[in-house]
Each structure stands twice: as structure tokens, then as C-alpha cells.
Structure 1
Amino acid sequence: MRNNSRSSSVPRAAAAARSGRSLRPWAAVALTGALVASAAACSTPGGDKGAGKAADTAVVGIANEPETLSPLLGYGKDGNSKIFDGLLTHDAEMRLKPALAAELPKITNEGRTYTYTLRDGVRFSDGQPLTAKDVVFTYRTILDKNTNNASKAELDALQEVRAEGDRTVVFELKYPYAPFAERTVLPIAPEHIAGKQDVNSGDFGTKPIGTGPYILTDWRKGEKLTFKANPQYWGGEPAVKKFTMAIIKDDDVRATRLRSGDLDGAILPPNLAATFKGDQGRKTLAAKTYDYRTVTLPTENPVTGDTAVRKALDVAVDRQAMVDKILDGGGKAAYGPVPTDSPWFAKGTERVHDLEKAKKILDDAGWRPGADGIREKDGRRASFPLWYLTGDKLRQDHALAYASDAKKAGIEVKVQSGTWEVIEPRMKDDAVLAGGGSPADPDFDQYSLLHSSLAGDGFNNMARYSDPDVDKALVDGRQSGKPEERKAAYDTIQRKLAENPGYTFLTHIDHLYVIADRWEGLTTQVEPHDHGLASGPWWNVEDWAPKK
């Protein structure tokens, strides 16, 4: 547990070393125990060329920009927000540890009651004290039917949350949801500010107030977010006093800005990260991830909705070639949302690249090669469009490789790029080179990816996948408190995906970051798909200290 009364000049890294008990993600513990933009023109975010060289200032380049900074609408739900804190947070090994809570929760009532005691003396950046009412307000608001939070299904297990005095919060669950503690990394919003606004349209999403290590000072949409250190932060004032995240969607532009000195660090695809090898004063850090790339196969498209086409594509694709050539070995073949080195992976669901098998599947289903080699059935060509996000070189390379492999089997994949605004209306009928993945628990990603109730719900279940056995297994997996039952449920899901692959999973990708080697404390965590504000070496920028 951190010492709240220590001087703010004490490095937070030292405080982290004195942190209290930690709890490994349920995925590891239970199984071991039970089963063994382009940026706005090319302007420098910090102002002058070379900005960010001061030891107390850092400028980094990220690829994606949040739609909102309100945790009530989904921002920071997986932890690591710079503006807010959750009751719990993760350490470098992804173990849960106390944040706004003084200690890990007391779990009673056969896993249905979680009781948290708040850390004493925590204040929001406007000086107002944090109380249990703020925690209750946050969770109740997210679950309110009128709140536009697409992730509220993640709190399905929560029946009631209540305050008992100013420092105690009690969560009552409908069922013993094993990974519930992981859900309490969710950032806490101040009721005295957010509660006085319309949750969906108020300015809290652009002018947030939190308890975190940094305070937002400027947000220029499409260009940058700028933060300053919170001098009243309960964990001690960060040594990096000014922190800027430049929004640079294009990989090549991000690399150019890093090379010119405009940026101190950036996330880069493997081929661009390799160009910085040997650069003096910079280091490359790799983060293992659950981040996958997949092709959605919409059920309502007459070609991608055909089970034979799906199964043929699943074995026609050369996943290992993608790992070797696109990722330069920085990743692994993907056969579903769970990486092959995860304890949750269902062994035996690997699919071998077999072009002849793909052709036979199509032949047997009546898809015959036409004059140009593209197959046809009942007068319909085996052809469909595949969209990827403009400027994302990794998605582009995956899409082109997928199209090349598909063509060898007689399926035409027409690769196109666009913004999400262009792509989203087309997702019902057109394939998309999508991404996802969460290391916290299999429920976190798989339910929203596959459950039929979420088909067509924004970016949830983009393929509109529907399988009653998968739906049942998803519910069993989140509602059972027994490790062996959960493992069986997620094994079922992976085997069903092999039988009827509504997505073609391609690779799991390691994230690469190139960053100036000027600070102590540069590390990475096991990362989810969503990388940028919360991930990378800056996951703990509040703990960095200048090199001596």
C-alpha cells in the first residue's frame, strides 16, 4: 500500500515498490490452481522542433483517439487512465492491486458480495474529496438504460452497488462472476460534477475531472491531448510534469515525426520499428499482447455467410507466413480470440494451412471455378469486399495477404480502405479487417465478439455471428464460479468457431514501441487490442524518473 502522507517529491517508482497485496488475473490463478493522423499537417505537438527533450516533459505518438474522456461512456474501462483511477489497478505483471481502494476486496456470500474500503484522503483534481457515493454514482450511471455506454453488458453480473458510510462500497452480484474484481479497474467519476450534466451530451467527456496522476489541459481533436502532473495526486506528484499524446493515424508519418525529434516515443509496425535499430539514445520495447487481427465474415452476405466459404478461407489462409513476413516474427498465428500460449487456449483447435483442402471444401459445396478462376455457385461469384482502416499499414498488409491466399482457392476478396465512418455502415454486408483482444479474462472480449444478442450493436459482434451453443457457453463462462466449468465453456466456444468460423482469425500481434532512452522505469505490460492512451511504455509514465 502506498503511503499517502509522504512528500510529493518522493519518486513514485519507490512507492510502487512498497505497494500492497496484489491479485493475479483470475485467468492465471484459477487455471494453475484448478487445472494447471496523419497528425494535423506536420505540426510539432510541443511547439518547436525537438520539443520534449526536457526530462520533465514527454511527447509520444499514438494511432487512435478516444471519442470521449468520460468513464461513464466507456473511457478507460480496462484501467490505466491518466486522468482517473479505479478501485483497483494492474501492476507490471498484470496482477490486481489497490488504487482508490485501500486494499483488495473482501469476497463473501459464495462469491456474490465484494466489499471495498476506500483509501483515505483521496481528492479529485478540483480539490473535492472522493467518497463511496462517487463510486456508487459511477456504476449506477453506467448501468442506467439511458446511458450510451456500449460496454455496459460487461457489468451484467452486477445487481446492486451501495455505499456504507463515506469509505465503504458494497457490490452485490446476481451470480458468482469470477472476474468481477477485474471490472473494478473502471475509472471513478465525481458525482458533484458529472452528476449535474446530461451523461451523454455534457462537457464532462471533454473537460474531465478525476483523481488520477494527470490533469487534462488541452484536447485538440485529431491532433493531440496534453496533460500536466496532478500536484495533489494521492500517489505522489509525477516527475514528468507535462505529457502530450500526439494523435497520428498514419504509421509512416508517426515514424517520420519520431525520427525528426518531434516525438520522444511512438508505437510502430515492425518494418518501421526496425529502421530505428541501432539509433543512439533510443530503445525499442516489445509488449506481448492478446491483440488479434481477424476478418469478419458477415452472415448476411450470401458469400461470406456460406459455411463452406468460411471453412475454406480458414484453411486457405497462411497464418505463419503473415507472422514471418508481415510481423517479422513479432507475434503468433491466431485461430481464435485466445492466443495459443494462454492457459485458456483449447488445444487441438489449430488449423493447418491446406490449400488443397480449401479447394475440396468449395468443390463439395458446389462452388465451381469460373473462366477467370473465381468460383461461382447458382450464378453468384465467390467475391466480397474487405475493408481496412486507412493509414493502418499492419491492417493493409494483412488484408492484402488474406486476399492473395483466398484467390489461390478461387475466392475474390476486393480490398478497400476507409475511415471508420465509411466502414461502419457497411459492416452488415462487407468484411472488415478488425482487431480485438483482452488479457484480463476471456469473458471480456469473447462475449461482445460472439454473443448473438449483440449482433450489429456498433462494433460488437461485427460479423453478426449466431450459434446457440456458443451463446450458452458464453453465459456459462461468465456465470460459473468454478474454474473447470469456465475452461470447458471457453473450450466449447473455440471448437465451435473451428466448425463454423464466423471470423477468419489471422495473427496475434506483439506491439513495438520506439522511445527515447532518457528515463528510468520504461517497461510494458501484456496488452489488449486497444493500445495508445493506456498502453505502451507510458502505461506508468507517472512512475518515470529522469536517468541520472
Structure 2
Amino acid sequence: MKKKLVSILLCAALAVTAFTGCGSSDPEEEAKSKAALEGSDTEGGTKTTGAEGVFTYAIGGDTGNTLNPLTADDRWGLMTCHLLYSPAYYIYADGTVDYILAESMEPSEDGLTYTMKLKEGLKWSDGKPLTADDIIYTYEEQNKQTENLFIGGKPIQFQKVDDLTVEFKLPSVCASAMEMLSSEASILPKHYFEGKNTFDINMLEEEVVGAGPYVLEEYQTGQHLKFKKNPNYANGEANIDTIVYRIIENNDTATLALQNGEIDAWIGLPDLLDPYQDNDGFNITNYSEGRVAYMRLNPKSPNMQEKSYREGILYAMDREEIMVAAYTDKEFFDLGYSFLPPNNSYYSDDVEKWEQDLDKAKELTADGSKALKLCYVEEDPVQTNQGLTIQAELKEIGIEVELAGMNQAAYMKVAYDNENTEYDIFLGGYVMGVDPDIYSSLFVSTKDNMINYNNAEIDQLFADGNGTLDEDERKEIYDEVQKKVSEEAIFYPFGSNLRTLVTTARVDGLEEAKFVPIYTFGDLSKLELK
């Protein structure tokens, strides 16, 4: 289950899993990965990669054998959940609603009640009926876990009308309710979990019951996850019989496997794409996840107390230089100036952009600290290159930057400790959603406040924007929010990087499957093999 908080935490270090191993080669790991590639998909060691009816996707990390659909918080775990479970509906970045389990979701005239109608004849992968009881069970369990379905501190209430109908009662008008109720829950089987007393599933030993397009057939630690199509999937049986998520942590190994026909798809790196350029055997697709990469200044740091000093730091930055250092070429990113991604309909660049001005930067930082500490994920070459560029840019104005790289777990601990005073600068990134209120979790002091803001005016603007259904009024409010956030001189967005998917020529139906954040495909059942 993808939660807003999870999205932030995961994607703060999203580039890590996508870029781990870039440019490196560990012979022992390559041998191990190659051995795994050459014959572990079926009993008896028969190789199925490249076989008819099997689509093999290289993923950059192991999910671990314990899956919890309520708390999955890494890309690979979320991708697995996306295959095994379904939400009632899914909202794409362009606002299109894909109804999966639900037939419709309609608001009342006053905006305080949403009525969900389920499709008839829904079944779980084990053949048991899927009804309104499962919908209510899922959302009630979600409310026990987090307050992400709370509005103004009060929970949304759920009421069963009949086996195919659920009413969602809002405590007050909430413009983002439709997306909130979509993104917060992949529906869970009440009959499976209610007596289990845990949402943890041991994939080595237990059956996974879901309503997604596929069912887990086999999991081998450190090697692969194998899925077979679910005949009870609400949107019809998948076109491809078997999906394999092949675990290959080293990108050099992965690109060789793709060239050798051992896998069908891989998230490519800009500096490893040459073999696929102008090659009829492969297709390269760049797509946006709406990810925002950023630098933030720590307001708890003693060095960052003066706003004028923070402004000077930002005037020293050149966001294009930072993004080129990270992604090698402009075709792999879009510059951005707001906390919203450039492809969001509410995005505005009518904000303080902090265009580089070294003279102004030197003037504003003249009386401040000449030594700063920057925290980033050391195994991520993207953040490493960003950090080195920022270090060089600040050196131009007489400030020395210590690059404090650390592993992802350690980074997560300090980066989201809102009382941390040791680090002056953090690098990060996030993938959120469509409605601009979803981003309030980043900045509102009464919410998750991951960027560590404490500004009552910004808090109120977000509340006002979500409390009206008038689109013109909302646009005006969120334009103002974007300006206010930029003016605080704490958050400095670089822009939005693109992900590059390389597939073999036999893979078809990419447009029908639709590219989405985190999961790569909105509906893998729509993929085809030629």
C-alpha cells in the first residue's frame, strides 16, 4: 500500500536504487548474478528468460521475503504489491481515472460524501468474493496505521450500503479526497487477514491472496520473484502469462543481461545506453515520474538561522550545472523552480528562482559561516555528483563544504530528524501525486513536515487550497503557496529527472500499460510480447 509518507521517504533517496552500481564492476557479484540468470526460473534449472509468455524485468534490489502491503516502503516492495493487489481506482498524472475494482466514485453535491460502486462478480485470487466489506476493512485498518485519511484532524468515516456500495463520509470539504482515497489503499482481503493478526506475509512459505493482475508463484531470495497471471483480475486476464522480477543489483551486469537476451527490460543509465541507441533490437523510452530533486537548507542548523545567509547560499547555486553533473545530458531532466513537478497542472515558475549571482552570494554570506556540512546518500552517484558540484559552487564564494556521505538507512535517520543540528544541507527527492494538497505533507507543520518548515502562513494557505472546490480559487492559492515556499530560502528544487526504460523489441503494449511513478507500469496486464 502506497502512503504519502512512504512516497516521501522512499523517493527522498529514489535515485539510490535506480543508480546503484553505475560504472562499477564487482567480478564476484557479476558471477553470482550471471549464475542466477542462467537457470533458476523453473524447476530443474530451465532458463525461461526470453521464452514465449515470459516477461523478465531487472530490478535493482531484493524485496526481502516478508511482504506487508500496509507498510511496504521501498520501490521493489511497492512494485510487488502493485502486481498482487489492486486499488479501487487509480488516478494517472493527467487526471485520468482508471477504475479497477470500482465501477464509479461519485461525490455528493456538497462534497461531503463520496459513493463508491464496485463492479459485479469481483473475486480474490483464491476465488472468494470481493465485496464492500473488504473495502471498509482496508480503509479502517489504514486509519489505525496513520492519519493520512484524516481531514482537519478528523477521520473519514466509511459506511456499507450494500455488498457493492460504500459511502465515504468526510468531516469537511476536501478537494484532494478523490486522490487521497485512491492513493492510500490497495484493497486487502478481509477473510485472509482478519484472523491472521498481522499484515506480514512470508513469501517463501505463505500464499499471497490479492486482486491484482498477477499472483505470486515463486520467490527465491536474492534471485527473483515469479508471478503468474490472475484469472480473476477485474480488468481481464493479463496478456502475458508470466512476469519475472529478476534481482540484479549491478547495472553493468544488468545491461549485459539485456544485450544477451536474458532479460526484457531494465531501467537504463545515461552512460550505459550506447549499445541500444539506433538498435532495432531495443526500444528506449524516457518518461517522467514527476520526481522533484532538491537541496534543502536545515533551519535547525546554527549556521542557517539568518534568512539573508540562506539567500546567499541559494544565489551561489546553478541548478542546470547541478543537473547536468547528475544526469549527463539535458534530455534526461527538466529544470524546475517549484516544489511541484513541472508536469503538474498547478505548477508555477512565477517564483523566486534564485538565479546564480555570485557577487550577491558573496555579499549575503560575508558575515556567516565559511564551513558547512552536506548530507547525502554515498552509494548514489547522482547525489554524489550533485554534492561535488554544490561543493565547487560554494567554494567560489569562499565557503568550504564537507561532503558527509552515508548509507541510505543512516541518511533516512538524520535527514528526517526535524531536530537535527549537525548538518547544514541535505540532498533529496520525492514522488508524490497529482493534487497539490498531497504536497502539504512536505511543508505543513502539523503534518509530516519532511522539509522542516514552520510557517503559519504556509500552513493556512495549504488548508485554504484544500478547503475549496473552486478550481480558479485553488489555482490562485497554490500559486501563492509556491511563491511563499521559495521566498523562505530553505527549499531549492533542481527539477525533475526522467527515468529511462530499455526494452527488447519483442515487448509491446507500452503505451497501453501506461508509465507511472514507482511501479513503471500502471497496468502490467496490458503489456504484450510479440
Does TM, normalized by the shorter one, top 0.5? Answer: yes
Alignment correspondent of 2:505:
517
Question: Is structure 2 residue 518 aligned with structure 1 residue 539?
Answer: no
Q: Structure 1 residues 151 and 114, CA, compared in 2 at 3 Å: closer, same or farther?
A: closer
Distance 2:280 2:527 in 1: 20
Alignment correspondent of 2:179:
182
Alignment correspondent of 1:413:
401
The 5-angstrom pairing of residues 484-499 of structure 1 reads 484-499=472-487
Question: Is structure 2 residue 361 aligned with structure 1 residue 401?
Answer: no
Distance 1:207 1:447 in 2: 38
Alignment correspondent of 1:129:
129
How far the C-alpha of 1:108 sits from its partner, in A, is 0.7
Q: Point out the more displaced range, 218-227 or 235-244.
A: 218-227
Question: Is structure 2 residue 503 aligned with structure 1 residue 502?
Answer: no
Alignment correspondent of 2:4:
none
Letter of the structure 2 residue corresponding to residue 241 of structure 1? D
Q: Structure 1 residues 394 and 472, CA, compared in 2 at 3 Å: closer, same or farther?
A: same
Letter of the structure 2 residue corresponding to residue 167 of structure 1? L
- Is the 1:178–1:481 contact (alpha carbons within 8 Å) kept by the matching residues of 2? yes
Alignment correspondent of 1:387:
376
1:359 aligned counterpart, secondary structure: helix
Q: Per-residue displacement from partner, 1:97-138 (whole Å, max 9, x unpaired)?
A: 321012x22211411111111111111111111010100000
Question: Is structure 2 residue 43 aligned with structure 1 residue 42?
Answer: no
Distance 1:296 1:226 in 2: 40
How far the C-alpha of 1:90 sits from its partner, in A, is 4.2
How far the C-alpha of 1:48 sits from its partner, in A, is 3.0
Alignment correspondent of 2:365:
362
Q: Structure 1 residues 109 and 343, CA, compared in 2 at 3 Å: closer, same or farther?
A: closer
Distance 1:243 1:116 in 2: 31
2:156 corresponds, among 150, 155, 159, to 159
Identity percentage of aligned residues = 23
Alignment correspondent of 1:334:
336
Letter of the structure 2 residue corresponding to residue 432 of structure 1? F
Q: Structure 1 residues 351 and 469, CA, compared in 2 at 3 Å: closer, same or farther?
A: same
Question: Is structure 2 residue 442 aligned with structure 1 residue 449?
Answer: yes
Distance 1:219 1:169 in 2: 35
Q: Structure 1 residues 502 and 121, CA, compared in 2 at 3 Å: closer, same or farther?
A: same
Q: Structure 1 residues 154 and 55, CA, compared in 2 at 3 Å: closer, same or farther?
A: farther
Alignment correspondent of 2:347:
345
Provide the alpha-carbon RMSD of the alignment: 3.2
Distance 1:253 1:443 in 2: 41
How far the C-alpha of 1:342 sits from its partner, in A, is 3.6
Alignment correspondent of 1:73:
71
- Is the 1:298–1:462 contact (alpha carbons within 8 Å) kept by the matching residues of 2? no
Question: Is structure 2 residue 181 aligned with structure 1 residue 198?
Answer: no
How far the C-alpha of 1:308 sits from its partner, in A, is 3.2
Alignment correspondent of 2:26:
none
Distance 2:35 2:467 in 1: 49
The 5-angstrom pairing of residues 234-245 of structure 1 reads 234-245=234-245
Q: TM-score, normalised by structure 2?
A: 0.81
Letter of the structure 2 residue corresponding to residue 383 of structure 1? L
Alignment correspondent of 2:310:
310
Distance 2:156 2:180 in 1: 14
Letter of the structure 1 residue corresponding to residue 525 of structure 2? E
Alignment correspondent of 1:28:
none
Q: Per-residue displacement from partner, 1:462-491 (whole Å, max 9, x unpaired)?
A: 442221111112222222222233223322
Q: Structure 1 residues 315 and 422, CA, compared in 2 at 3 Å: closer, same or farther?
A: same
How far the C-alpha of 1:348 sits from its partner, in A, is 2.0
How far the C-alpha of 1:501 sits from its partner, in A, is 2.7
- Is the 2:344–2:434 contact (alpha carbons within 8 Å) kept by the matching residues of 1? no
Alignment correspondent of 1:6:
none
Distance 2:201 2:524 in 1: 29
- Is the 1:288–1:525 contact (alpha carbons within 8 Å) kept by the matching residues of 2? no
2:273 aligned counterpart, secondary structure: helix
How far the C-alpha of 1:77 sits from its partner, in A, is 8.6
How far the C-alpha of 1:221 sits from its partner, in A, is 5.4
The 5-angstrom pairing of residues 81-96 of structure 1 reads 81-90=82-91, 94-96=95-97
**Larger proportion of helix:** 2
Q: Structure 1 residues 503 and 347, CA, compared in 2 at 3 Å: closer, same or farther?
A: closer
1:406 aligned counterpart, secondary structure: helix
Alignment correspondent of 1:436:
430
Q: Per-residue displacement from partner, 1:192-248 (whole Å, max 9, x unpaired)?
A: 112223346565998532111111233455554322211232322212222122344
How far the C-alpha of 1:343 sits from its partner, in A, is 3.0
Alignment correspondent of 1:4:
none
Q: Per-residue displacement from partner, 1:499-519 (whole Å, max 9, x unpaired)?
A: 213222112111111111112
- Is the 1:326–1:397 contact (alpha carbons within 8 Å) kept by the matching residues of 2? yes
Alignment correspondent of 1:478:
466
1:485 aligned counterpart, secondary structure: helix
Letter of the structure 2 residue corresponding to residue 470 of structure 1? I
Q: Point out the more displaced range, 121-130 or 272-281.
A: 272-281
Q: Structure 1 residues 389 and 128, CA, compared in 2 at 3 Å: closer, same or farther?
A: farther
How far the C-alpha of 1:317 sits from its partner, in A, is 1.5
How far the C-alpha of 1:180 sits from its partner, in A, is 1.9
Q: Structure 1 residues 166 and 242, CA, compared in 2 at 3 Å: closer, same or farther?
A: same
How far the C-alpha of 1:263 sits from its partner, in A, is 2.4
Distance 1:249 1:313 in 2: 36
Q: Per-residue displacement from partner, 1:40-96 (whole Å, max 9, x unpaired)?
A: 942465543975212311111234666874443366999991111111124695510
Alignment correspondent of 1:18:
none
Distance 1:413 1:150 in 2: 38
The 5-angstrom pairing of residues 202-213 of structure 1 reads 208-213=208-213
Q: Structure 1 residues 202 and 263, CA, compared in 2 at 3 Å: closer, same or farther?
A: closer
How far the C-alpha of 1:272 sits from its partner, in A, is 2.4
- Is the 1:121–1:129 contact (alpha carbons within 8 Å) kept by the matching residues of 2? yes
Distance 2:230 2:162 in 1: 27
Letter of the structure 2 residue corresponding to residue 336 of structure 1? S
Aligned length: 480
Letter of the structure 2 residue corresponding to residue 86 of structure 1? P
1:72 aligned counterpart, secondary structure: coil
Q: Point out the more displaced range, 480-489 or 131-140.
A: 480-489
How far the C-alpha of 1:292 sits from its partner, in A, is 1.4
- Is the 1:438–1:527 contact (alpha carbons within 8 Å) kept by the matching residues of 2? no
Q: Per-residue displacement from partner, 1:374-422 (whole Å, max 9, x unpaired)?
A: xx3xxxx4311321251x3322222222222222223333224333222
1:172 corresponds, among 169, 175, 195, to 169
Q: TM-score, normalised by structure 1?
A: 0.79
Letter of the structure 2 residue corresponding to residue 408 of structure 1? E
Letter of the structure 1 residue corresponding to residue 197 of structure 2? D
Q: Per-residue displacement from partner, 1:26-51 (whole Å, max 9, x unpaired)?
A: xxxxxxxxxxx667942465543975
Distance 1:135 1:264 in 2: 35
Q: Structure 1 residues 406 and 92, CA, compared in 2 at 3 Å: closer, same or farther?
A: closer
